[in-house]
Chains A and B, each alone.
Chain A
Amino acid sequence: MKRWLKPAAVAVLLLPIGKMGWDAATGGLGANPVEAVQNRLGFWTIVLLALSLVPTPAGELLGLAWPQRLRRVLGVTAFAYALLHFLFYVGVDKFFDWPTISRDLTRRPFLMVGFAALLCLAPLAVTSTDGWLRRLGYRRWKLLHRLVYLAAALAVVHFAWRVKADMRRPLLFAGIFAALLALRIPGWVRAARRGRRNA
């Protein structure tokens, strides 16, 4: 066990926040810093969501063990970015303008799907600990954590509705998630066969 792996991962995953701080101090956020930070937090949320789906197929298909040890860190950080993205929207972009925020979250599909994605990720972050895994039992824990696929789909829809015309980046992420899902199919097939043999 390499003890530095997880702390190093956390440090790397926080780099985008550091970069935002640096850019904020040096004028690197451009003419609309609030929008820039909001967009960057959303971008890193979706990147981390995709990265959190890599360790499982990497282990199954390539036999790599070390990415598996980063799965929890990646997932929890993805949630942290999603939460920051939401809190930034509430507290900075809209500056606690509750009437507008409540209208946004109840009437505008673009914002509703983004919020739904956050709600999907919250229980996954809470139950990410060893204690919760034991309490739920692996089978139920795993079932619950499949919510991440729904969160990813909602995040892509949220991104697609965010852009006005240029769908290239949302489509790129849709493709990445589709590929990561496809890479899990061999594992599922094997597990199903194993299940039948054991029955």
Chain B
Amino acid sequence: MPRFKPDLRESEATPEGIYLRRREFLRLGAAGAIGAATSAFPIPALAGPDDPAGEVLPVARKADMAGGEKPTPWKSVTTYNNFYEFGTDKADPAQRAGGLRTRPWTLAVDGEVKRPLTLGIEEILKLSPLEERVYRFRCVEAWSMVVPWVGFPLAGLVKRAEPTSRARFVVFQTLLDPAQMPGQRSRILEWPYTEALRIDEAVNPLTLLAVGLYGRVLPAQNGAPLRVITPWKYGFKGAKSIVRMRFVEEQPRTTWAVMAPTEYGFYGNVNPAVDHPRWSQGKERRLGEFLRRDTLPFNGYGAEVAGLYAGLDPRKLY
């Protein structure tokens, strides 16, 4: 539908806080350039066990979209995970995801599309230039981190499949294989894990199909080989280890919304005004920090996404 389009989107305008600190940013930029020049020649002897590991991905460009905040250390991001396919303790995925075979891997794109696709992971990696995006990541459990994801906007893949006019939602399905995913041997959740986005959410420029972390191939415990990242939503909305994307007309049943409908809504948008029935969502603990900080509406990405929900009851946006 045609809409009025200003030549500058709200999200493209420099926030006042950054404008006021522009000199500091220039200094940081210079420091960053020196840092980048040095990191082009990494010295292996300096890489400790807590440093990023794994195959290096070719990253075409980088964008900091977390307000200049320092990313959460690699070790925390890769040892503190909710990935019930490998166990329900935060430490389980890092310990038990070693058996996940991420090569070869195929993704089926089907449903209400003109061009159903079956793509191998190698093809997917070549669909678009890879970008690094540093995003805030907020879990529904009121903890958060800052993560340098590597991936590309999901919109490209959606367009390639050419959804029909009936397609209103896209459903993501995680691998179902109890042999590789020991957590699936217990019926803790309805397997396979299923999540979904509205089409307009899926093609929002913020929505990422992530294949890496810290410039490296995504570790198994973080959802290898590819997962969805929607930084304005709680983490559970980002399906991991995806094998299928299905376009549908009706709002689908999603895993957590089925499991506990009073606790997890379909949208899963970060919303400090709507508490989880068991705890407050008003504040969050950033991993590595002692004091909780205020949770921001849409996790601080309101400028980019609030328009998607115009006319919707804000109380429903959780």
- Report the contact-size class of chain B (Cβ under 8 Å from the partner): 20 to 34
Contacts of B75 in A (CB 8 A): 31
Contact A100 B278 (CB under 8 A): no
Segment of B52-60, B107-115, B239-247, B281-289 in the binding face: B281-289
Could you tell me if A30 and B80 are in contact, using CB atoms closer than 8 angstroms? yes
Chain A interface residue number, banded: 20 to 34
Q: How far is the CB of B33 from chain A (nearest CB, A)?
A: 30
Asked if A193 is an interface residue, CB under 8 A from chain B, the answer is no
Assess whether B280 is in contact with A103, with CB atoms less than 8 Å apart: yes
Nearest residue, chain A, Cβ from B289: A34
Q: How far, in whole Å, are A1 and B75 apart by their CA atoms in the complex?
A: 51
**Chain A contacts with B in 153-167, Cβ cutoff 8 A:** 161-166
Tell me whether B277 and A163 are in contact (CB under 8 A): no
**Neighbour of A31 across the interface among B84, B90, B290, CB < 8 A:** B90
Give A165's nearest chain B residue, CB to CB.
B188
A104 touches B79 (CB 8 A): no
B143 interface residue (CB < 8 Å to A) = yes
Q: Check A30–B90 contact: CB distance below 8 A.
A: yes
Given contacts A35-B143, A95-B292, A104-B279, contact A163 B287 (CB under 8 A): no
Q: Hey, which chain B residues are within 8 Å of A34, CB to CB?
A: 285, 290
Q: 1/0 contact trace for A24-40 toward B, CB 8 Å? A: 00000011101100000
Known: A163-B88, A166-B88. A32 touches B143 (CB 8 A): yes
Alpha-carbon gap, A103 to B141, bound state (A): 17
Q: Is A110 close to B, CB under 8 A? A: yes
- The verdict on A3 contacting chain B, using a C-beta distance below 8 Å, is no
Q: Is the CB of B285 within 8 A of A32?
A: yes
Cross-chain contact B278 with A161 (CB below 8 angstroms): yes
Given contacts A95-B292, A166-B188, A168-B186, A31 and B76 within 8 Å (CB-CB): yes
Min CB distance A197 to B, Å, is 51
Report yes or no: B292 in contact with A97, Cβ–Cβ below 8 A.
yes
CA distance A162 to B277 in the complex (A): 11
B210-260 interface (Cβ within 8 A of A):
259-260
A166 to B260, CA, bound (A): 13
Q: Within 8 Å CB of B88, what residues of A?
A: 163-166
Distance of A16 Cα from B203 Cα, bound (Å): 50
Q: When each residue 53-83 of chain B gets 1 if its CB lies under 8 Å from chain A and 0 otherwise, what string results?
A: 0000000000000000000100110011000
Cβ A100 vs Cβ B282 within 8 A: yes
Question: Within the assembled complex, what's the spacing in Å between the Cα atoms of A95 and B290?
Answer: 9
Interface string of A162-185 (1 = CB under 8 A from B): 111110100000000000000000
Please tell me if A139 contacts chain B, counting CB pairs below 8 Å.
no
Determine whether B91 belongs to the interface, using a CB cutoff of 8 Å to chain A. yes
- Could you say which of B188, B277, B285, B288 contacts A108, with CB atoms under 8 Å apart? B277
Whole-angstrom CA separation of A31 from B75 in the bound complex: 8
With A31-B76, A31-B90, A168-B186: A108-B279 Cβ-Cβ less than 8 Å: yes
Contact flag A32-B278 (CB < 8 Å), given A165-B188, A166-B188, A168-B186: no
Give 15 new A-B contacts, CB below 8 A, not counting A35-B285, A166-B88.
A30-B80, A30-B90, A31-B90, A31-B287, A34-B285, A34-B290, A94-B292, A95-B290, A104-B279, A109-B278, A110-B278, A164-B141, A164-B260, A165-B84, A165-B189
Q: Please, could you name 10 A-B residue pairs with CB atoms under 8 Å apart, sorted by A?
A: A31-B80, A31-B90, A94-B292, A95-B290, A95-B291, A95-B292, A100-B283, A103-B280, A166-B88, A166-B188
